[in-house]
Amino acid sequence: MFKMLQVAKREFVATVLTKAFLIGVFILPVVLTATIPIAGLLVTNKSPDVSGTVAIIDRSGGDGLAAKAIEAALTPEEIARQQKIQISEDTQKIKQTVEDQVGKENAKQFDRTAGLIGELKIPDVRPDVLPADSDVDEVKPSLMSGTTFDGSRLALIVVDPDAIRRESADKPFGAYQLFVKPKLDARAQRLITDQVTKAIIQTRLQVSGEDPGQILAMTNLPRPRARTPNDKSSGELQQFLLPVGFMMLLWVSVFTSGQFLMTSTIEEKSNRIMEVLLSAVSPMQLMTGKIIGQMGAGLLIMTVYSGFGIASLLLFQRGDLIEGANFGFLIAFFFIAFFTIAAMMAAVGSAVTDIHEAQALMMPIMVVVMIPMLLMMPIISAPSGRMATIMSFVPPISPFVMVLRMSSSQPPPQWQLFLALGIGVVTVYIALKMAAKIFRVGVLMYGKPPNLATLLRWIRMA
């Protein structure tokens, strides 16, 4: 036991006191804290220059009301007016969201950058009404010439015959077709679509004898912000933030320490230090000590990052999102995930003498453990679904899936949590036992790197 603890101490000190560990673990939160505000100042919603004409073919009737309404809606003055209204509304919504998340006092910083949010250069669009009987196939080729900033034709709008007046009361209204120049900026397309849609709706109301302004005012109902009884906001951001935070906390701590374990094992074997160590301790003591030492490094990573996350939540007055039971299960699943992954890493590190040789053996492991990352969003969206439930009991991805589910909006029942822990303990026992057999044989093997079939043969032999 004493020798094993000595190996663990040596492994822990050799890992956490390196520059790579200190920079990678402790500097990263500082860099993120400094760069996120700077990135917010640099990122804008400013679109590229757009200049040209929009052709309009109105086939809705001889009075041409739709064409006139669309023409008026696409003038530079009307577009600028609508954009100012939209930017003001978007800015207010974002400001309110920021206040809900971090409090009014902390949200004062938002006022300094509010002018950058929603910034959009007004497209220089000029409507061009064509005869109602124009051939669409003859007009469409004009969209292929020129660029989006040289004044050429940008889009073609074709209003359906029944877009304003229905053929009969039991049939729905028609719509309109939109053809755009290739590579026309998506924001400019959305702007044109919004303006045309509003113009056609207003024309329908006008033709039916209704007051468009009054109807639109009657149908406009702002959606209230959901709040908890303690006056805290509740929405998609909260339901997404916590599961992703727990998942990344577990993933980073487990794989960082596991990677250090594999790297140190390969270095010691390639430098023949392993032979010196084995003269003083047994292969089992060496492997166990190295795993325990790296477990300490993983716990240190988790402590630093979880402390940073908790401090951020408390700073933004969102301590209500923190649940002590979740952190307890997080630590339990950390041990299961770490020992499982560490056993694999130790086995791979002992079987090869070069980091490049380890890549082939690491590929199947990485493919399996990347599954929770790839399916993170579906699991968060349906934490009680069939896929999430089944994956909760499939090693070695079970701890990662369970961490996502337990911090989601629909936590799993207690029996599933404890069943996953039980399966995890059995998985750890099997993984460590198999890794010990590979480690015992491979730690003194040199020459051609083994493949998966060779590793399985070592397990049967040992």
Pairwise pLDDT comparison (66 vs 324), residue with the higher score = 66
pLDDT classification of 35: cutoffs 50, 70, 90: low
Give the C-alpha separation, 12 to 289, whole Å: 9
Q: Give the closest residue to 143 by CA, choosing from 179, 177, 196, 189.
A: 179
Average pLDDT, stretch 100-118? Answer: 51
Average pLDDT, stretch 66-83? Answer: 84
Give the C-alpha separation, 435 to 278, whole Å: 17
Give the C-alpha separation, 265 to 346, whole Å: 7
- Residues 6 or more apart in contact with residue 199 via CB below 8 angstroms: 66, 69, 70, 72, 73
- 290 contacts 264 by C-beta, under 8 angstroms: yes
pLDDT in tens, 194-238: 889 988 888 888 888 777 778 777 777 766 666 655 555 555 556
Task: Report the SS3 class of residue 53.
Answer: strand
pLDDT value of residue 104: 57
Average pLDDT, stretch 405-424? Answer: 87
Average pLDDT, stretch 310-319? Answer: 69
User: Could you give the count of Cα atoms lying within 13 Å of 99 in the half-sphere of its Cβ?
Assistant: 12
Structure tokens at 154: 């940008």
pLDDT in tens, 151-178: 788 889 999 988 888 877 788 888 899 9
Give the C-alpha separation, 225 to 234, whole Å: 8
pLDDT value of residue 40: 52
- 249 contacts 306 by C-beta, under 8 angstroms: yes
Task: Please report, for residues 8, 139, 203, 264, 283, the alpha-carbon distance to residue 14 in angstroms, rounded to integers and kept in the order given.
Answer: 10, 72, 75, 9, 19
The burial of 181, by beta-carbon neighbours within 10 Å (0-12 exposed, 13-18 middle, 19 or more buried), is given as buried
pLDDT classification of 117: cutoffs 50, 70, 90: very low
Pairwise pLDDT comparison (336 vs 118), residue with the higher score = 336
Give the C-alpha separation, 11 to 39, whole Å: 38
Give the C-alpha separation, 351 to 264, whole Å: 13
Sign of CA dihedral 80, 82, 84, 90: negative
- The residue length of the chain stands at 462
Structure tokens at 430: 């099997």
pLDDT classification of 327: cutoffs 50, 70, 90: confident
pLDDT value of residue 113: 47
Q: Is the model's pLDDT at 61 over the cut of 70?
A: yes
Q: Is the model's pLDDT at 95 over the cut of 80?
A: no
pLDDT classification of 66: cutoffs 50, 70, 90: confident
Pairwise pLDDT comparison (326 vs 95), residue with the higher score = 326
- 157 contacts 196 by C-beta, under 8 angstroms: yes
Peptide bond into 229 cis (omega under 30): no
Average pLDDT, stretch 82-96? Answer: 69
pLDDT value of residue 419: 93
pLDDT value of residue 231: 52
